[in-house]
Structure formats: C-alpha cells, structure tokens
Chains A and B, each alone.
Chain A
Amino acid sequence: MLTEYGTKHAVHVITNHFGDLVAKVCECLLRKGPLTRQNVKRYTELSDEQVKNALLVLIQQNCVQAFTTEQPDGPKANTQYVVLFDNILHRVRFAKFLTILSQEFDQQCVELVQGLLEHGRLTLKQMFDRAKSSEKEGNLVDLDSLRETLVKLVTAHYVERCPASEPLLMPISEEEGPARKKGSKSAKKIGEPETIEQQVVEAALPMEAMRFSVVTNVESDVGEKEKNSNNVTPGEKRKHDVLELDECGVADEQSVVYRANFEGFIRRLRHKGCIDHVRAHLDDGAANVLSAMLQATSSAEKKVKTKNSVPLSLSSIYEEVIKSEAGRNMTLDHVRASLVQLGELSFVDASSDSYSIDFEKIIEIAQNEEVESVVSKRYGRDAYRIFRLLSKSGRLLETDKISDTTFVEKKDAPKILYKLWKDGYLLMEKLVVTGARQSQFLLWKVNRQILWKHVLDEMFHAALNLSLRVSYELDREKELLNLPADKRTGPLQDRYNRIRKVRILLESSQMKLDDAILLFHDF
C-alpha cells in the first residue's frame, strides 16, 4: 500500500521528467492500481491516443509493466498495466548509479549505461548508433568493443535483457498465496503476501541464464571466444550453423533489448551504505574488513535484501583484505580485532571460526539512528531517551515507569509522550484498574512496522518539498541565471552567489535524503 506522499513524490518525479500528460496516467495507475487501457482512459478523461503514448513512454522507461491474467474459463483477460513504483524512485538516483560504475569500469561502460538510463532501453544497434553520433575525433567507436563493453556490464549484472512485454500472471488462490511464494525472491518475508507489482515483475523476468546473456556475432568469435558460441560443430555443418547463427546474431543485435539492471546498482549501494555505517561507528580498519568480506561473497547473493553473507574463514577474509590498497597494511591480528569489534555490535556473526555479515542488523541500527535523530532534533533530548527506551523495550510501558527510567520530570513525561503519540511516533493504550478507587494508567509503545512506514512517508514528503523549493528558488532567479557573467555586477553578483549556494545545498540535501529513503525502502 503506497503512502500519500510516496505517491505525490513519484508523480512529481514523472512530471519533471516526462510532463503533465504522462504524469496524469502514472498517477491514475498509482492511485487505482493495475488498470486496462480503457479504464485509464475513463479515469483520466484523456484521449485514446494520449493514453497510449503515455503508457508507451512509461513502459519504455521501465516505470510501467504490462501483463495479462488467465481467466478460469474463456479467453485471456485484457492487457493491464501496473506501475513500478521502485523504478520511479530510482530515476532520481541515476547519478549515484553512474558514480558506482565509474569506480569499477572505464568511460565507455559509463557512457553505455548513461544511454540506457536516458532512453530506458536499447538494442545493441541503437547503442552503437548513439555512440557513433557523439563520437569524437581520435576516439572512434567500433561495434566489437561496444559489444565487449556490453558483455562486461551484463556479466557484472549491471545491465540485463528487458523482461517479457506482456507476461501471463497466473491467479493465486488465497490458501496457496504465501506458501506458494515462499521461495520467491521478491517476497520480503516468508508469509508476507506479494503485491501485484512484485508478482508481475517476477512473472516478466527472463530465466536467470537468459536475463544476463548477450548474443554475440558468432563469425568473429569462432576460434577466439568459443564460450560465446552455442552450436559450433566441426566440418561443413559448422559452416552452415555459423551462417545461420550469424544471421540470428545480427537480427538479435537489432531486436534484443537491454536495460540497466537497477537491482545490481541497489545491491552495490546497499553494500556501500553498510561500509559507510561501519566506518562511522568503528574505524577504517573495520570498514576495510567488511568491504573485503563483501567483495568475496557478493556474487553469491541471490537477492537485494539478503539477510546474511556467505560465511568466510578468517584466512579467506585476510586474503581478500590484503588484495586492496587500503587493506594492504593490515596484519592478521588487526583483521581479527576488527572482526571482534564488528561482532560486539552484532554486525558480523561469528560461529565455528567462520564469519558472516548480518546485513539486517547493520541496516536496523542505521534506521534506528535516523529516526532517533529526528526525535532528538524535533522533540528534544528527554524525548530522545524516552523514545530509545520504548524502542529498545519493544513493549508497552507505563508513564511513571518511563519517567523514572529516563530521568524525566513526572510532570513533563506525559506531555512529551502525548506529543510523540499525536505525531504518530508512539502507540498509546489506556488501562483502567478498578479497586478501592478506579485508576487509569496510560501505556506507551513503539510499533516499528507502523512507525517505519510513517517515517518513510515523511521522507517522501521532505523529498517533494526539497524539489519544490529548488524549482521555486531557481524560477525566482531565472533571469539572473540567464544573464551573461560580465553583466552580473554588484548586488546581482551577490544574488548569483547566493543562488549558487542555495542550489548546491538543496541538491546535496536531496541526495543525502535519498540515501535515507534507500535505507528505509530499498535496503
């Protein structure tokens, strides 16, 4: 269930990128759920052509997925369209994705993915045409090297084949629901029912081997890269097959469509977030150890929200640590000591001489700190202690017990508790005890599930506000910004300096807030 500001924020992103018309269709799907084209037209009161074009843009940009459902008897139902909320959120993160790439790959890789992010999806031919059109002298683009670049990115799971255009969604009976999806990688927890969005995404995905494969031009590969060719046999049949595959290869390069694999980038950002968190809590040594463990085990991760990393021995960890420049000077004792420190904070589980990262714990602590920071700044230090007490305890506590434990004045505690409850940070229950006199007690509790949803909604609200304020500020100084530099003198220069600082502050705050949204929504 999307929150109100989650929806508003998503609509705002689509409006900024694709205009009001596309945003109207997107908002309709966000608020109403999956719809047929007819129903979208009915609710938006747009023309058939307008709805069609808007949907095409959203599908091209991976923000909407079409699907059909099977009726128990009779023909297939009409095609419906479901919005991919997560992919809309990813649109503000493209710069972060490209930064990750630039740290691991060369400029050609970065440019290829930039093209995929800009256009949503491309065939190899389209990638080549795009690269050719922005070709610089002395830096000519050739198809083979571009293909190699694509293979590199697909192998690293940063690029994938596009999903099926209209997968068939099998209806799930109520009894079957959670049990059937037990093994599903998109279900957050066992027993938690999948949303339609998750079901459609999963149904649309190609098989793993297909999803991360690139069909190459076999003729040029023969004798060089046999691993890329499928049916190479000796003799004349080989020549026949090669010709056939060559035609298929060329056809595939014009028809197989690729797109950026957001999951790959989010996984990488999750790792990076955990390393930064460990660095902030402990030191560089511990961060290097965690980074090495991630390096050694990340290929074994099956899904983004992996709970634990694959266990590693101390010697394996050490071998990986000393591979990196940062870890080269670390001794085995130093690595062992860092693992102990990580264990103390429960960031790493140690058992039978093997170590495994507890991602859920690191993320849980980071989330707690984010919320506690808001409570502290918004409601004060007393509220901070009260909130931490209730959050750690996880159960209902009575007002007096809270004020005693947290050293808050008995007359102040109820006011703070009431304020936190009114703003949705606490749950409250009344307990009436009848005895000689009837007494009423108030009990308070932090419910993480409810609160986390509320905090995420506040983050979406804040993200929308930042975006609106940036637009407002830049709009106010539109003329000044268009003025040539030599005309900006005196007070105009001061205003220009101000708007520059405003822009930097607001845009960097947007990026930082997005890190928090990642923490609560994606990690």
Chain B
Amino acid sequence: MSKRKRPESNAPSDSLTDHERLIYDVIRSKQDMGIWTRDMKRELRVNLPDNIVTKSIKSLQNKSLIKEVVNIHSKGKKHLMAVEFEPSKEISGGAWYSEGSLDTEFIKVVKSQCLKQIIKLKVATLEGISDSIKRSGAFKVDLTKQQIEEIVRALVLDNQIMEVKSNGSGEFTNIPVGKVCYKNVSKGGGGGEPKTGSLASIPCGVCPQINICTPDGVISPKTCVYYTTWLDF
C-alpha cells in the first residue's frame, strides 16, 4: 500500500519554469511507480534538449518536489518519483527490501525467531507462531501475518521445518483436524545439515563441467583436477 500525502496548495511547484512544470507533471502522474528518466523524456509533449532536462531535474530535486528512488528491476537506472509518494512494492521489492537489495540481516533474524518459536512450541500453526513472536517482544514493530507466512514458507524450502496436517490427537491435540502446522525437521541420529547424497559426495556430482567431460577428452576422469584434489592424501 503506498502512503500518499495530500499535496499542499502553496507548494514550491508554483515557482516552476515551464520545462520544470512539464517534467514534474509527468513524474507526479506516475505516483508510487515513479519513472525512469529516459522514459520520462519520451513522454514529454515537447522534445527538450538533454541539458535542459538535467538542469530541470536537479532544480526539482533541490526544491524537494521529486526524489530519486531505487527500482530493484533496474538498479543502475535513475528512477524519479514525486516526494509525496512512497515506492510501490513492485519497484521497492516489498517489505524485505531495503534500498533496492534484500535486507538479508533482517530476514535472517526473522527466520531465526520463527524457527525458535516452532522448536519451542513443538507443533505450531501460523497463528501460533505469530502470537508467540509477539509475546516474545523480539521485534519493535509487529510482523504481519503475511510476513510470517512468507518466512515460514522459506524455512520449509530450506528444509529446516516441515509442513504437516493436524490429525487432532497426540501432539496435535487443540489443533483442528486438517489444519496446516509446522514442525522442526528431525534429522534422525544426525542433526543440523541434511546428509549429503551419494552423487553429491563425489567430484562428478558437483562438477560444473560434467557435460563436457568424456572418458578420453581434454576434461576426463584421468586428467580431472577435482579428482586430484579429492585424492590428495
């Protein structure tokens, strides 16, 4: 959801040149999506020379009417937006993005908290995890249900937790039958990282060149440097 402030009627926009007015109108019309400078030039009704456009953009920025934002789909390109708008999820990346990149630290912390609560609860529904995190006071701002769901789904993909359905009895008592729940993945006698597969345990299994390796070729098991390293006792 974009946060929009009502533009003030006696804004500095009153003191704009015609060129600045043209450019400002185009940028403002894009609201929370903003616009790339080159696209903006194309949308102008008149063909303005580059130096005029550059000067006008700078002036508008100085007057705090427009700002530069990062578009995660094209981080290198200059993307402009009227100051009263917040970048939409489509160009900012959403709650997990900060200045155009994934906020990996934040994601790591949320993942770790969710996992901690799931381990503590042994079997947890999404609501259970959400309540438990709220009660723990680990975050200053409440995480939305959608955010928790996204993180929990990522933990399933990381194979750190598994999704099960309640059967209403045993450890699922108090959880309605059929409700989706999450449990920590038990690793049998191990614990921690899942066991490496048979193919992945040998050089060929992880080799980026396997498609061009042949028995008597330039890249072959006899000449393979990965094998040589592996067998270096």
Q: A residues engaging B (CB < 8 A)? A: 8, 279-283, 340, 344, 369-374, 376-378, 381, 384-385, 388-389, 392, 404-411, 423, 455, 458-459, 461-462, 464-466, 468-469, 472-473, 497-498, 501-502, 505-506, 509, 512-513, 515-516
Report yes or no: B201 in contact with A509, Cβ–Cβ below 8 A: yes
Q: Which of B17-25, B29-37, B52-60, B191-199 is found at the contact surface with chain A?
A: B191-199
Q: Which residue of A lies closest to B186 (CB)?
A: A282
Q: Give chain A's interface secondary structure class.
A: helix
Report yes or no: B157 in contact with A279, Cβ–Cβ below 8 A: no
Query: Closest approach, in angstroms, between the C-beta of B18 and any C-beta of chain A?
Result: 28
Query: Closest approach, in angstroms, between the C-beta of A120 and any C-beta of chain B?
Result: 27
Report yes or no: B198 in contact with A461, Cβ–Cβ below 8 A: no
**B94 within 8 Å of A (CB atoms):** yes
Q: Give chain B's interface secondary structure class.
A: loop
Quick one: given A280-B189, A407-B102, are A373 and B215 in contact (CB under 8 Å)?
no
Counted as pairs of residues, one from A and one from B, with CB atoms less than 8 Å apart, the total is 138
Q: How many residues of B contact A (CB 8 A)?
A: 48
**B44 within 8 Å of A (CB atoms):** no
Report yes or no: B205 in contact with A374, Cβ–Cβ below 8 A: yes
Query: Closest approach, in angstroms, between the C-beta of A508 and any C-beta of chain B?
Result: 10
Report yes or no: B202 in contact with A370, Cβ–Cβ below 8 A: no
Report yes or no: A340 in contact with B170, Cβ–Cβ below 8 A: yes
Report yes or no: A281 in contact with B186, Cβ–Cβ below 8 A: yes
Task: Give Cα A461–Cα B195 distance, bound, in whole angstroms.
Answer: 22
CB neighbours of B72 from chain A (8 A): 410-411
**B101 within 8 Å of A (CB atoms):** yes
Q: Which of B153, B204, B215 contacts A8 (CB 8 A)?
A: B215
Quick one: given A377-B205, A377-B206, are A515 and B198 in contact (CB under 8 Å)?
yes
Task: Give Cα A376–Cα B195 distance, bound, in whole angstroms.
Answer: 12
Q: B residues engaging A (CB < 8 A)? A: 72-73, 75, 93-94, 96, 101-102, 107, 150, 153-154, 157-159, 164, 170, 186-190, 194-202, 204-208, 210-211, 213, 215, 220-222, 224, 227, 230-231, 233
CB neighbours of A376 from chain B (8 A): 200
CB neighbours of A404 from chain B (8 A): 94, 150
CB neighbours of B94 from chain A (8 A): 404
CB neighbours of B186 from chain A (8 A): 281-283
Report yes or no: B93 in contact with A512, Cβ–Cβ below 8 A: no
CB neighbours of A513 from chain B (8 A): 198-199, 202
The 4 closest A-B pairs by CB, nearest first: A373-B197, A462-B204, A516-B198, A465-B221
Task: Give Cα A462–Cα B224 distance, bound, in whole angstroms.
Answer: 12
Interchain residue pairs with CB less than 8 A apart (9): A280-B195, A369-B197, A374-B200, A378-B207, A384-B158, A461-B213, A469-B231, A498-B233, A502-B231
Quick one: given A406-B154, A461-B204, A465-B204, are A370 and B197 in contact (CB under 8 Å)?
yes
Task: Give Cα A459–Cα B210 distance, bound, in whole angstroms.
Answer: 11
CB neighbours of B233 from chain A (8 A): 497-498, 501-502
Task: Give Cα A407–Cα B94 distance, bound, in whole angstroms.
Answer: 11
